[in-house]
Amino acid sequence: MPAIPIRYVGGAEGPWRVVRVAPYRGATLPTAPRLAVREGAGEAVGAAWALRGVLSNIRYTREEERRALVSAQAPTGRALATRAALLPIRKSEAWWALAQDTRRDILEEQSRHVAIGMEYLPAIARRLAHGRDLGEPFDFLTWFEYAPEDEAAFEDLLLRLRASAEWAYVEREVDIRLERDA
Amino acid sequence: MPAIPIRYVGGAEGPWRVVRVAPYRGATLPTAPRLAVREGAGEAVGAAWALRGVLSNIRYTREEERRALVSAQAPTGRALATRAALLPIRKSEAWWALAQDTRRDILEEQSRHVAIGMEYLPAIARRLAHGRDLGEPFDFLTWFEYAPEDEAAFEDLLLRLRASAEWAYVEREVDIRLERDA
């Protein structure tokens, strides 16, 4: 897949109602009534904020994990998925200075990031955009989408990831919750 | 290190004289009399071309390799390094669809990319910028800098890399050679 630009735009427009914008670590973002997800390049006029990222190649996932994810995961945009969370994350410079195998070891062998996410498939659909090479304030824009009855499962997933060794390298994280009409 | 934008600008300005612009694979670029290397964001007005990339985190290098590279490599900008090569490279979508461990296996275990480069340190200084997430035509802007007496060594390094399994995934490569006054 080519690298596809994506923008999460907080403002007056979009199908998602913003239920909550809260800091998890570091500075928060202003709140906004609605959120729109836009693919492709472009400017956001009059928005409270626009977070830019790129849907790009996988960075840590091994072939056997890639196959398991592809066979288990659900796409975004399912009619039943009327709840979502946008978690923009920035990691520390210490993280980015680590070698590839050291980062993989922390992410998976120590933190089970891929394995934990797999346990919640297909209920919790996920989409990851990368912002670091764009000079954006967030390295990752992580998006989760699920049915109302899977909200407790999502909270559980989030607790487990945030308790992991990997999260010691997260220096900024904002927690944005969203709902839309069925 | 934060991700640092870098531009290689072909046009009327810059310390480097363009000696040759030749296609190695796929479409070439127009020639230009001079080349300037600019760090930071900005526009190139009136240039023949401007290739954008980001000096970013390492993607495949393991910790023991990182340490060996750091202790062996020379910086760019040495007074003796009056020859340079800029090799913008685009890899195929098939490459980018591969899992991380498969790409690493092709790059190093099959192709010895890191190990081969190491043999030519410190004579051949290198700098790698990433352009794929920026939506640029080239995924990589690879820069090599050396003294005139190391030109044969550079040609040898290039022959070995281009003969590797990894290069089957290169779908576009332009070969730009440069000289500057001592």
Banded model confidence at residue A88, pLDDT cuts 50, 70, 90 = very high
Q: Is the pLDDT of residue A1 over 90?
A: no
**pLDDT at residue number B32:** 96
Read off the DSSP letter of residue A134.
Answer: G
Whole-angstrom distance, CA of residue A27 vs CA of residue A40: 27
How high is the mean pLDDT of chain B? 96
**pLDDT at residue number B41:** 77
**pLDDT at residue number A46:** 80
Chain centroid to CA B28: 16
Q: State the CB neighbour count (10 A cutoff) for residue A52.
A: 21
**Chain B residues with CB-CB distance to A102 below 8 A:** 63
Whole-angstrom distance, CA of residue B158 vs CA of residue B167: 11
Selection from A92, A122, A107 nearest residue A62 by Cα:
A107
Judged by CB atoms closer than 8 Å, whether chains meet at A100 and B134 is answered as no
Banded model confidence at residue A78, pLDDT cuts 50, 70, 90 = very high
Provide the pairing of β-strand A140-146 with A83-91.
Answer: antiparallel
Q: Is the pLDDT of residue A32 over 90?
A: yes
Q: Could you tell me the pTM of the whole model?
A: 0.95
Q: Is the pLDDT of residue A127 over 90?
A: yes
Angle made by CA atoms A62, A65, A69, in degrees to the nearest 5 = 135
As a whole number of Å, the end-to-end CA separation of chain B is 30
**Chain B residues with CB-CB distance to A57 below 8 A:** 96-97, 132
What six digits make up the tokens of A57?
């190649």
**Chain B residues with CB-CB distance to A114 below 8 A:** none
With a threshold of 0.85, tell me whether the complex ipTM lies above it.
Answer: yes
**pLDDT at residue number A45:** 76
* % of chain A exceeding 70 in pLDDT: 99
Banded model confidence at residue A51, pLDDT cuts 50, 70, 90 = very high
Report how far apart, in Å, the C-alpha atoms of A69 and of each of A79, A114, B25 are: 21, 9, 35
Report how far apart, in Å, the C-alpha atoms of A84 and of each of B18, B24, B65 are: 52, 47, 41
Provide the pairing of β-strand B170-179 with A170-179.
Answer: unpaired
Judged by CB atoms closer than 8 Å, whether chains meet at A99 and B135 is answered as no
**pLDDT at residue number A40:** 84
Residues of chain B where predicted confidence (pLDDT) is lower than 70: 1
Whole-angstrom distance, CA of residue B91 vs CA of residue B97: 11
